[in-house]
Structure formats: C-alpha cells, structure tokens
Amino acid sequence: MAKVTMALAQVNPLVGDIDANTRLVLEFARRAIDEHQAGLILFPELVLTGYPPEDLLLRPSLARRIDRALQALCEARLPIKLLVGYPRVKAGRVYNAAGLIDQGQLVAEYYKQCLPNYQVFDEKRYFEAGTQPCVIDLWGLPVAITVCEDIWQAGPMAQARDAGARLMLNINASPYHRGKTTERRALLKQRAVEGNMPILYVNQVGGQDELVFDGHSMAVDAGGKSLMQAPAFDAGLFTIELDLESGQLLPAQQTEDVCSLESVYRALVLGVRDYVTKNRFNGVVLGLSGGIDSALTLAIAVDALGADRVEAVMMPFRYTSQLSQDDASDQARRMGVKYHVVSIEPIYEAFMASLAPAFTGTQLDTTEENLQARCRGVILMAMSNKHGSLVLTTGNKSEMAVGYSTLYGDMAGGFDVLKDVPKTLVFELARHRNRVREVIPDSVITRPPSAELRPDQKDEDSLPAYPVLDDILERYVERDESAADIIAAGHAEADVRRVLRLVDINEYKRRQAPIGPRLTKRGFGRDRRYPITNGWSIGD
Amino acid sequence: MAKVTMALAQVNPLVGDIDANTRLVLEFARRAIDEHQAGLILFPELVLTGYPPEDLLLRPSLARRIDRALQALCEARLPIKLLVGYPRVKAGRVYNAAGLIDQGQLVAEYYKQCLPNYQVFDEKRYFEAGTQPCVIDLWGLPVAITVCEDIWQAGPMAQARDAGARLMLNINASPYHRGKTTERRALLKQRAVEGNMPILYVNQVGGQDELVFDGHSMAVDAGGKSLMQAPAFDAGLFTIELDLESGQLLPAQQTEDVCSLESVYRALVLGVRDYVTKNRFNGVVLGLSGGIDSALTLAIAVDALGADRVEAVMMPFRYTSQLSQDDASDQARRMGVKYHVVSIEPIYEAFMASLAPAFTGTQLDTTEENLQARCRGVILMAMSNKHGSLVLTTGNKSEMAVGYSTLYGDMAGGFDVLKDVPKTLVFELARHRNRVREVIPDSVITRPPSAELRPDQKDEDSLPAYPVLDDILERYVERDESAADIIAAGHAEADVRRVLRLVDINEYKRRQAPIGPRLTKRGFGRDRRYPITNGWSIGD
C-alpha cells in the first residue's frame, strides 16, 4: 500500500453529551471507511466532551463516562485508526489527551503540554500539563501527535522533530475570531518549516455559548505550503492522501476563503443556530425597532433558523417615528416572519401612575427612558415564556461597551447576536447582507441611529460619532491601549476620557448581559474579567 | 533592643485605586509608628491594587503605577520596615510580589510560588510563579517572606526552614467561607510545626464584588499554638512583640471567635456595606414581600447602612395575603426604614390587555407568574434610577440553584445579598438576628414559604421540603457528589433527579443574576463555571 487516505472529521459535538459525541465519532469513522476507505481519521480536541466542557471536568463521574466511551470506540473494532481527544483522569489529575485507537486497542496516548490560560481559556484550572512527546509508527512512518496550543508554541514541534517524526497530527478546538485564519496559516507554515514536516490540522466546528468554532481544517506540506483546506462554519468529512514512500501529503480539496464580512456573517448565523437548536428552543422572538441593529439581527436569525421559527415585535411609543414603524413592517414582510405590533403606551402610563407618589417633585430623566425599554423587555419575555422561544437581544458591541442600553430592558433576552459587533461593522454587515437580497430597507441603513427614547433623539447627541467611538473602543478594549496612547493616536482627549470612563463604570451592566458570539480577540465575556467594584482611574 | 513590635495592618483597600491604597499604607504605617513604636508593619497580599484586581493586571500602565506607588512609599522614609504586596512587572511577566521597604529602599522582594487557579482564583491567568525562597535578616533574625497560597502547600515552608529561617511572615488575601477559620488554624499549626518556626499571618478585610475577606489575622508559635488573633470583618491595626533573643513571638490580643451564624451574618453585612459604599450608591431599595428572604435582607441592609439609607417597597397583587402586607409594614416600622406600597394590579392588567392578541387561545401558565415578578422588578429599577440607589435582590441560594426565580423580575437588581445562603440557613439567620432584637415579625419566620404568584401557592408544592432540597443541593453543588452518591445517602431518587436537572437547566438564569457575597466553598459565581449549552445527563 503506497498511499493511505487520511480523514479529517470536522464535527460539531454537543458539550457534555459524551454518549452522543461517541456516536458522532463512530458515525464519521464509518463514513470515512465506507466513502473513502480511509486508514486514519482525526477528530478535534476533547471531541468526546465537546469544547470547552468547563467545570463539567470537575464532575466525579467524568472518568467513568470517558472510560465507557473509549471502550465503545474500541469495541466497535472499526477497520480504521481513530485519533480522538478526551479528558484523561489519572491518579486524581486530569490531562487533555489525544488517544489513538487501532484494532480495538488504545495504542497510544498523548497529553497536551501547552495549556492556554488566557483570553477565554482556563485550561490550567482543569488540566495537568503533559511533559512527553508522542511519536508513533503509522505504516512505517514516524508520526507525532499534538493538541491545539501545542502548535502555538515552539517546544512540541522541536520535540517531535528531535524524536524523528516526519508528520504531525494536530487536533484542535480553536475558536474563531476575525483574522484568525491568517494567523493560523502563518503559524502552521512556521512550524512546518521548523520541523521540516507536513502538518494535518483538524478543528471543531459549531457554536458553544459565546464561542464559535470555525472548523477550517487544513493541511500544509513540510515547506508550509497549503495542501488542503476545509470550509469554515460547516461540519463535514474531508480527506487527504499520504504517500507512504515519500512521507508527503498530496494536494487535496482547497475551499476558497470567503471575504472577512461574509466570514463574520457566517459566524453569527452559526452562533445563533447552534445556541437555539442545542438548547432546544422552538424559535426566537425579537423586538424590531426600525433601527439597524434589530434589522440585522432579524436577517441573521432568519438565515440561521428559517422564517417560520422567527417572530418580530414592534412596540411603538409616543417617540417612535412613523418611518420606524413602516421600516419594521416592511422588513418583517420582506423576510416573511410573523409580525406583531404591541404599543407600550398604556403600560408605560400604568407604571407612571403607580410610581407618581414615589416620584413627587422629581424631574424627567433617564428613568423614564429606561422604563420604556423595560416595558418592551417584559413584553418580549412574556411572549418567549408563552411560546417556548428564545428572546434575541440586539445590542451591539459599541453599546455594550459604553452602557448605552437598559438592563432588563433592551438587554432582556438569552442571546445577544451583535454583542461583539461594533456599530460600524453592523452597518457593513447590513450592506453586505443586502447585496445577496435587499432584506433590510435602505432607509434603515441610511438614517442616523436613534434609540427613540426622547423626541428627536440621536445616538450621536450623547456619544462621539460611531467611527470615532469604535476606534477608541477597539484600542481600549481589544488592544489594551492606555488613554495616553489613544490620545496620541489623534483622538480628542475629552472623547477618550469620556468613553473610557463609560466603559469602566458599565461593567455591572455587562455582568448581567446575555451571552453572545465572540468575533474579536476580546469580547465582553469570559474574555474580559474586570471587577465591578473598581477604583482604577483612567489616568495614563 | 531585645524586643520589637510587629504590626499587622488588616486593611480594606479599594481594588484598582493604587493611589488611595498607597495612602492607606502610609496612614497605617504612621499609626504603627506613632501608636506602637513598631519596627515592622505587614500589609496584605497585593495591597497596592487590592485583591483580586482581575484583568486590571493586563493594563499597560500597571507597571508605571506600581513603580510610582513604591517610589512614594520609599520616599516617605518612614522609620519602620514595610512589607507590602503588589504586582511586579518584569520582562513582560507579572509576579505576585511581596516587597520589604526599609530606610527608603526596597531591600528584598519575594515572588509568590504557589498560584491558586481553582475555585474563584485565576492567578495563572496573570502571574508567573516565583521559584526562589526569600529569607532576610531582620534585627539579626532570619525571616522568610511568603504570600497566601504558599502556606497552603508544603514546599515554601520546607524551603524557608532549609534556608535557616526562624520566623515566617505570610501576607494574604484569603476570602471567607464558612468554617475557613478552623481550616486556617489547622493549616498554620501544621506548617509552624513542619518549619519549627512561628508564623505571622496578615489578611485583607472587606467586600469586593462576590468575595468577602474576613481579616482574622493571626500569629502562632513554633508549636502552632495561637498567640494572637485579630477580629474578623473589621479593619484595624494589631500588634505582637517579637523577642529577638529567643526569636519567639509573645502572646498578644486574642479576639474570641464568634459563632458560625454570627460570622455569616457579619460577612453579609460587610459584603453589602462595601458593595454599596465602594460603588458610591446613595443607598438601597428592595422589595419587601412579607416573606423571610426579603425580611432578612432588609435587616442586613439596615445593619450595614443604617435605616436612613434603606427603602422598602411592598408591591401587592391579588394573590398577596393580608398577612404579608401586615408583616411587611410591621417590619418596615420596626426597622425604621422608608416604606412604600405600590400595587402592581393596574400595571399587570395593562400588560395582559396589550398581550391579549398574541396570547389568544393560550392557557394561564408561569408566563403570568413571571409577569407579576417583572412588574415588581421594573418598579424597583425605576425607583433605583430616580434616587441613585442600588436594588438589592433577595433570592437565596436554594432558589438560585433550582431557578425558582424570575429573570428581570425578582432577580432584577445589583446585589443579591442571600445568593450563597441556602433557605434553611435563611431561617437560622433570621432567628439569630431576632435574638439581638426582634426586627423580623415571628409570623414571617413561622409561616410556610410562598412566592404568592398563584392562589394558595406554597414553595413546597413544587419543590422538596427545604431541609431535603438543601441537603441535595449542598451535596451536588458544593461537594460535587453524583446522583448515585446522593441517592445512596438516603434521598429519594425522584427528588434527586428532579433537583439535579433543575440545577443543570437553570445555568442561563444564574449567568444573568446579580452578584452576591460568597459564603461557602462553592458559590454561584466565578466559583462555578458551567456551560449553558450542556448535554451532560444526570446519569451517574
């Protein structure tokens, strides 16, 4: 046999459901045999638990459950070698393991050496680091096994090379963020060259709470040149041939990259679809205000779930313009979703009448604005409760950053689709989506953004223009620049100080915000852990 | 000089406010000189940033700010040795450092070797571990410096002993949980005996978001016998004398322990006081239902802030009993707080009228119950917005565990005082507080708990009796027991499966819950990181 087919299982496991994930592994392995006569199939990191399992790793029955799953994989005695990831409990410690199953036996086991404990990752909370490389003989070829972060550092490849490996198998659960494909490619190239060996890289796909895994499995040759690339954001089984004489991988399917906007859009669609379906909601409901955030959220929801699983509710008040009402109903019609109009006027009046004794002698302020938002939140939640649907919230990253949103009002809901999408990107994505088919009325995109909580209110009355705001926010939140750095980059000091202060004092809102898909190198979730009680001054 | 006075500064820093914390260090150091002629003063771990600073440790200006603070401490040239904790940035890495300042110079610096990365701790996210002991000569005596977790493991004491140390200074930011004093004492005893040297243990005091630091600084002799103990939950400056000839610490102030209930009560009071004052709220407002949770929360709030900073609101509906209304007004009168009655009847009716078209053909269900809770949440938030006060929520740990609470309803607010207090402990605390003065009407304690969201509703209609529920919850949540373990302990299988399932499926609610003070070994906060999307079956 001069050539062997290697299969990459770019699967979408359900975190915690070890039984279902084990069946998924068997199903893909059988397909790799039946459809491709493959000799080896690679599954992602921790495929048996899904990634990240978080504190499920602390459950006492974990070891038993994993043992049972591995036993089931062995007992299937499939005529293919299986490389699977799972947590291995050993002498009271847990390792992030990759095991090779061949002819009904676990023939090799590797423990991840580099444990990420930054950004969204907490692996040192759970895992003990391995200390040994694992190089095994496959059809006469010495092959190294590594797990995810191991390839982001230089050590494990150097070990593999020193141990005589001629091919690296790297199994991953690597979450998406904008631009990550480019980073990964450069990295694989560098490591392949360092080790002078080809690399097979398989990655999980799917949404898991705030993370979106993009798949995008790939292979590079010993010079780092791309030999194959699987699509992003879709599960699937992909193959590449290994020439046993030369030890080289042969060129295979090359899925073309999509543009950055399309990539973000697909990440959002996948994030919504998986959150809704994995949590078994009947569908979603959202407030449609006539503004661009809810318009884009609706388009994503329909693309993720189909129009029949999406309901939109316009909740007008005295400050809601006719244009907003027309645009909302127009968009609902274009997208074919069920559409309700529920005025909040009598509800607001009932609250104000009841609060009148407590509010005697006070002035109108943001209290009344928040009250409008909260009337709407309660209506959406009531519809969600009654119909078993999930409320999607529509707050974008710029709003989340500066607290331009109402807790228990427009923040009421289970999944915030645009949570990591800055407002300027909301506009780009809306235009991008409309290029396929114009589902968002043009006036929604071109009118100046307004919360419509006061007469003639515009967002830019209380915030810097969005391009300015978003640049300041990206520098502060994603790049950790200081106030001095941001001012030096050309922003007005008053803007910088105001925006940074707003970010700092609104941590309490974000702490109670719904989760949403992470798209950048720093989202407002597990990624950014700030104290609420916080005396840090903006200073320098 | 045969004896030296050592001062323990049990201080309450504000996280992030390096300038203010530096002033606090100088103030306590001057007091130690003026009032006690002390030769050395010990401050807690990371006193310059407060603990835990979380992602503030990633800010680029951290190094500059800490350098300035250390410079200010040196330049003060106080006639006392200062041992302070701070993050040290060095070659791009951050260490959890303890530095000794003497005569205007930083004369020694130790880097914490054991970095906790479990429970609520994420130190491996931020810090590089030190590798070296630090033993310095103080008045001819070799003294070891260690930081917090270093004393929870055997290594650093063994190092200190091997390096010839005869006294250990251990600076801490050790959060409270029930029973921790006993653990700490046993630990200090064990280490002192292992190292055959006395230990001076200083701890931070104060509330910081979900953590409460109890102070309780202490000293033990080389046999582990207690020589001094500072009070819990109060800041203060405490002293002990060191005999330079024998190297022994001399017996000093012994604050007696309080009982476990009093200790929990004080932790709650401190948690509320510090959250409110450090975040600069004018006061607090809470819904008073006539039930025991809000009754106890009110008592704690008044004890923390004084009656004039606390407002209570009774929000009756058709299912609210006369007893509840009488008990609520009675309690408000006894505690001397401002009391409002705001009926939610007309607001509820307004919502139902507006929702009628969307609800055509549906039955009454929990939607209408949630709606009542949400009307109340919106009223409290409006009062909070108008008056600059914080809404305290009143959900206990048993409710948080099984999701017996309404998001954006009774969960609407900034701080959940009883979040880590199981219902059975709520009863005990209420009785305990009443022993000082009966502020909670007896009928509030003796009547069967009810949410009063349906006619004649009792909590125990839908949940196991609270003693049963709380035992199952403690085993599952705090002790990580499996379903099989809990059934084996004598609980009915149906109860166990129902309760565990409720805990698992309600993660989404807890994720949006307000923070609250942690009192147990596992609270629902940073301590317990479960996925929302989760296919883990209860199984075994």
Chain A, nearest residue to B388 by Cα: A367
Q: pLDDT at position B18, please?
A: 98
Residue B63 lies in a domain: yes
What average pLDDT score do residues A96-111 get?
Answer: 98
Q: Are residues B250 and B309 in the same domain?
A: no
A399 is in an annotated binding site: yes
DSSP state of B199: E
Mean pLDDT of B81-107: 97
Mean local confidence (pLDDT), B279-290 = 97
CATH code where residue A247 lies:
3.60.110.10
Do B222 and B299 share a domain, yes or no? no
For testing the chain B interface, which of A59, A345, A347 should be mutated: the one with the most B CBs within 10 Å? A347
User: Are A529 and B122 an interchain contact pair (Cβ–Cβ within 8 Å)?
Assistant: yes
Please check whether residue B525 lies inside any domain of the structure: no
Question: What's the whole-number mean pLDDT along residues A342-356?
Answer: 97
pLDDT, tens digit, 9 for 90 and up, residues A256-306: 999 999 999 999 999 999 999 999 999 999 999 999 999 999 999 999 999
**Mean pLDDT score across all residues of chain A:** 96
Task: Please state, in angstroms and rounded to a whole number, the distance separating the CA atoms of residues B272 and B303.
Answer: 9
pLDDT band of B456, cuts 50, 70, 90 = confident
Percent of chain B with pLDDT over 70: 100
**With an 8 Å Cβ cutoff, are B354 and A344 in contact?**
yes
Q: What digits encode the pLDDT tens for the residues B39-53? A: 999 999 999 999 999
A333 by DSSP, 3-state: which? helix
Cβ atoms within 10 Å, residue B23: 13
Q: Which of B436, B77, B57, B47 is nearest to B235 (CA)?
A: B47
Residues of chain A with C-beta less than 8 angstroms from the C-beta of B357: 340, 342
* CB contact set of A347 (below 8 Å; sequence gap of 6+): A375, A378, A379, B347, B350, B351, B354
Residues of chain B neighbouring A354 (CB-CB closer than 8 A): 342-344, 346-347, 379
**Could you tell me if A386 lies within 8 Å of chain B, comparing CB atoms?**
yes
Task: Please give, rounded to a whole number of angstroms, the shortest distance from the CA of A453 to a CA of chain B.
Answer: 15
Length of chain A: 540
Q: What single string gives the DSSP state of each residue in A207-275? A: EETTEEEEB--EEE-TT--EEEEPPBS--EEEEEEEETTTTEEPP--BPPPPPHHHHHHHHHHHHHHHH
- Nearest Cβ partner for B535 among A14, A209, A378: A14
Note whether B340 contacts A358, CB cutoff 8 Å. Answer: yes
Helix (H, G, I), strand (E, B) or coil at B393: strand
pLDDT of residue B24: 98
Residue A366 is assigned to a structural domain of this protein = yes
Tens-digit pLDDT profile for residues B297-324: 999 999 999 999 999 999 999 999 999 9
Q: How far is B15 from chain A (nearest CA, A)?
A: 5
Contacts of B270 in chain A (CB under 8 A): none
With an 8 Å Cβ cutoff, is A349 touching chain B? Answer: yes
Using left for φ > 0, alpha for ψ between -120 and 50, and beta otherwise, residue A148 falls in left
pLDDT, position A540: 67
Whether residues A50 and B535 touch (CB distance < 8 A) is answered with yes
Q: How many separate domains does chain B show?
A: 2
pLDDT-derived band at B1 (thresholds 50, 70, 90) equals low
Compute the nearest-CA separation of B515 from chain A (Å). 8
Both structure tokens of B128: 């590089």
B3 is catalytic: no
Task: Check whether A287 is labelled as a binding-site residue.
Answer: yes
Q: How far is B343 from chain A (nearest CA, A)?
A: 7
Examine the pLDDT at A538 and tell me if it is beyond 90.
Answer: no
For residue A525, is it within any domain? Answer: no
Candidates A24, A149, A512: best to mutate against B (most CBs of B within 10 A) is A512
Asked, for residue A95, whether it belongs to a domain, the answer is yes
Structural domain of B202: 3-257
Taking the Cβ of residue B446 and every Cβ of chain A, the question of whether any pair is shorter than 8 Å is answered with: no
Can you say which residues of B are annotated as belonging to the binding site for L-glutamine?
118, 174, 180
Can you point out the beta strands (E) in B27-74? Answer: 40-42
Say which CATH number the domain at A303 has.
Answer: 3.40.50.620
CA distances (Å), origin A95, targets A130, B295, B454, B536: 7, 47, 50, 19
Residues A191 and A56 in one domain: yes
B524 CB-near residues (< 8 Å, 6+ apart): B397, B400, B401, B419, B420, B477, B510, B513
Instruction: Say if A197 is an interface residue toward chain B (CB within 8 Å).
Output: no
Q: Is A493 annotated as a binding residue?
A: no
**CA closest to B122 among chain A residues:** A125
Residue A176 has pLDDT above 80, yes or no: yes
**Which chain B residue lies closest to A279 (C-alpha atoms)?**
B533
| pLDDT band, residue B457 (cuts 50/70/90) | confident
Question: What does the pLDDT look like over A232-253, one tens digit per residue?
Answer: 999 999 999 999 999 999 999 9
Find the mean pLDDT for residues A101-107: 97
Calculate mean pLDDT across residues B140-160: 97
Task: Provide the annotated binding site of B for deamido-NAD(+).
Answer: 370, 399, 509
* A291 annotated binding-site participant: yes
From the CA of B21, how many Å to the nearest CA of chain A? 10
Q: What is the mean pLDDT of residues A74-99?
A: 97
Which residue among A442, A460, A478 closes a domain? A460
Instruction: Note the ipTM here.
Output: 0.96
Pair (A282, A358) in one structural domain: yes
Query: Quick one: how many helices (H) and strands (E) in chain A?
Result: 18, 20
Residues B22 and B37 in one domain: yes
B311 and B173 in a common domain: no
Catalytic residue among B148, B369, B397, B481, which? B148
Contacts of A532 in chain B (CB under 8 A): 209, 279, 515
Nearest chain B Cα distance for residue A81, angstroms: 27
Which pLDDT value is given to residue B87? 98
Residues in chain B within 8 Å Cβ distance of A528: 55
Rounded Cα distance, A480 and A348, in Å:
41
Confidence of residue B460 (pLDDT cuts 50, 70, 90): confident
Instruction: Tell me if chain B has a CB within 8 Å of the CB of A188.
Output: no
Residue B517 lies in a domain: no
- A89 lies in the same domain as A58: yes
Strands A141-147 and A135-138 turn out to be antiparallel
Q: What is the pLDDT of residues B167-218, one digit of tens each?
A: 999 999 999 999 999 999 999 999 999 999 999 999 999 999 999 999 999 9
What pairs with residue A214 in β-bridges?
A205
Residue A421 and residue A274 in one domain: yes
Average pLDDT over chain B, rounded to whole? 96
Residue to mutate among A354, A379, A419, A503, with most B CBs inside 10 A, is A354
Concatenate the DSSP letters of all residues of B217-266 into one string: -EEE-TT--EEEEPPBS--EEEEEEEETTTTEEPP--BPPPPPHHHHHHH
Q: Do A354 and B407 touch (CB under 8 A)?
A: no
pLDDT recorded at residue A38: 98
Distance CA B267, CA A182 (A): 50
Whether the predicted pLDDT of B539 surpasses 80: no
Does residue A1 surpass a pLDDT of 60? no
Of A367-376, A448-457, B441-450, B494-503, give the lowest mean pLDDT range.
Answer: A448-457
Structure confidence at residue B540 (pLDDT): 67
How many residues in total does chain B contain? 540
- Nearest chain B residue to A510 by CA distance is B512
B238 and B321 co-located in one domain: no
Do A366 and A402 lie in one domain? The reply is: yes
Residues of A annotated as catalytic are: 45, 112, 148
A248 and A199 part of one domain = yes
Contacts with A, B 356-375, CB within 8 Å: 357-359, 362, 365-367, 370-371, 374-375
**Is A282 in the B-facing interface, judged by CB distances under 8 Å?**
no
B300 within some domain: yes
Pick from B280, B322, A337: which is nearest to A314 by CA? Answer: A337
Cβ atoms of B112 and B130 closer than 8 Å: yes
Does residue A486 form part of some domain?
no
Q: Are B225 and B268 part of one and the same domain?
A: no
* Shortest distance, CA B47 to any CA of chain A (angstroms): 13
Q: Are B300 and B269 in contact (CB under 8 A)?
A: yes
In chain A, positions 489-518, which contact chain B (CB-CB < 8 Å)? 508, 511-515
Q: A292-305 and A260-278 helices cross at what angle (nearest 10)?
A: 70
Diameter of chain A measured on Cα atoms:
89
| Domain end marker among B257, B287, B313 | B257
Select from A460, A485, A503 the last residue of a domain: A460
Q: Using one digit for the tens of pLDDT, what is the confidence trace for A112-147?
A: 999 999 999 999 999 999 999 999 999 999 999 999
Mean pLDDT value across residues A410-425: 98
